[in-house]
Structure 1
Amino acid sequence: MANAGSIRDKEHLGESTRREVVRADGRDQRSWLVDAPICPLLKTHHIAHVGRMWASAPFEVVRAEASGTFALITLEGEGEILIDGEWRAVAQNEICLLPAFAPTGIRAKKGDVWHFAWVRYEEARETSPILSSNSPVIHQGIVQPLSHAIAGLAAEVQRQDCEPATLHHWVELIHGFVARAARPYQGDDRLWCVWQAVERDLTRDWALEGLAKIAHVSQEHLRRLAQQQLGRSPIQHITYLRMRRAVALLTSTGDKLEVIANVVGYDNPFTFSNAFKRWTGRRPSAYRDGRG
């Protein structure tokens, strides 16, 4: 578990890391972005930048509060992502979806070149993010199409005779891949029914036994289903749903913290505050005020 109090913005690419980036505009003046070609069409899907990276340790990028969904695919090697307050390994052909407005991070492992591609969105709190509560966090998939689309966009945008229609097609392919990867699983209604029940009653003291009864499966089978489809255990996903509701209430209402704690299933505001800090890196009051 990462120390929530120590989650701070960090950006260290390392001397041997190579990259290929396309950005939506020139506002971001960070050194690794400033020379990247610009494709304004990315803005049609609220994409800030896309790219491919060949990263080596000590490569590490951490955001205490990401301002948009971050989609990542591993093409070769293995790296790690910071999600739900923990560093987790991601291997070849895995698709990772990191949510907006939460601590996220990526880092390379020693002795390994991590080749990955990414799409970084820019999202506002008042709009619906590309991820839903039932979107998978990490799952296996066919990742080469996204890599090819990003490479195609990077090549086209640098051509002197680049054509807007061609750029449009590459951008649509990139966003379409992420949208499909983020699509909630609909093939198994058992899990859908479980999370619907939980979201309707976040105050309930949910246990694995009760969740398994709703899904009409064994506790172990439910555990496997949740891990396969969401990248989380059932209990971890309940905490995620509670924190997601808490963030919505903190940013859209003036309710007292005690009230919000009760709404999302915590009788003790201090316990709620500690759980919230573990997941977001900040106390609820600091989150509401926009303080670090």
Structure 2
Amino acid sequence: MTNRVEFMSAPSNWPLPKSSIRYLIPKPMIEQLELNVVSRGLFPLAFGYYENAHNHAIKRLEHTDHLLIFCCAGKGTISSPHYNQTIMENDILMIPKGITHHYKADSKDPWSIYWVHMDGHLFMQFMDIIGLNKSQLKIQILNPIQIKNEFEQLMETRHQGYQLNSFILAANILKKILSLLTMQLPALHVTPQKDFNLITFNAFLEENITKQLSLDEMASYMGLSKFHFAKKFQTTTGISPVKYFLEIKIQHACGLLDRSSKPIKDVAAVLGYDDPYYFSRLFKNVMGLSPKQYRLSRHGH
């Protein structure tokens, strides 16, 4: 049995007000999580939430586990031998084991943070996918509400008692949080431009989900030439804007097929397709199943 659990980096001893949470997982449970095939790739050691954390600060010369911090309000700072940065609202900070560091809440506008100490080899793999390293420890997330909801689900697992299944659930929520962070890649690899905003464009597509938008119409809405828009969008998302819109339409179609008994021709019409056979071909190209097969098989997945 490894002895890293015995020497895990301790959470801060910041005085805990009623509005905040600090939850340490019992060492016998951690030992089981290390061995369980479902959890051993990534599992929490401790987690919590500090609200309006005045005077919160910690310095670790020896950091023996991985740490994830989500700043949901206020701000703070992080310093390490390779990295110094202000942490703002909606920033995620990922500190791998072995990195000497010092972080603290801002004195005038102290942060509120969700935090998780964790272990497992998947942490470094997620950092690689996201594009973080010892010289770049943070990203700003695009959908903070979604991430906050997942952290709240993680906090709730502490009410289920010291049961292995509840800690396995916590481990998988943690994996989901890191998986969601991989969806922030456009924000990492594309320099923000005033003339291109993916969130704004998504809202435009949702408003026009019943229409057949041309590339010219999309580019015109974004105030760009067709060529410039198509190139920038491909760089940002990895796919063309036309295909991106189609995939959003198919997601809506799946929801309608799941939640209603509408005939397939009516589902097609809702999404702007007069020809249900053409719609079915598009659906199958994306999903690998026809709309009819999808509806029949949904309870088997």
Shorter-chain TM-score range: 0.3 to 0.5
Q: TM-score, normalised by structure 1?
A: 0.45
Q: TM-score, normalised by structure 2?
A: 0.44
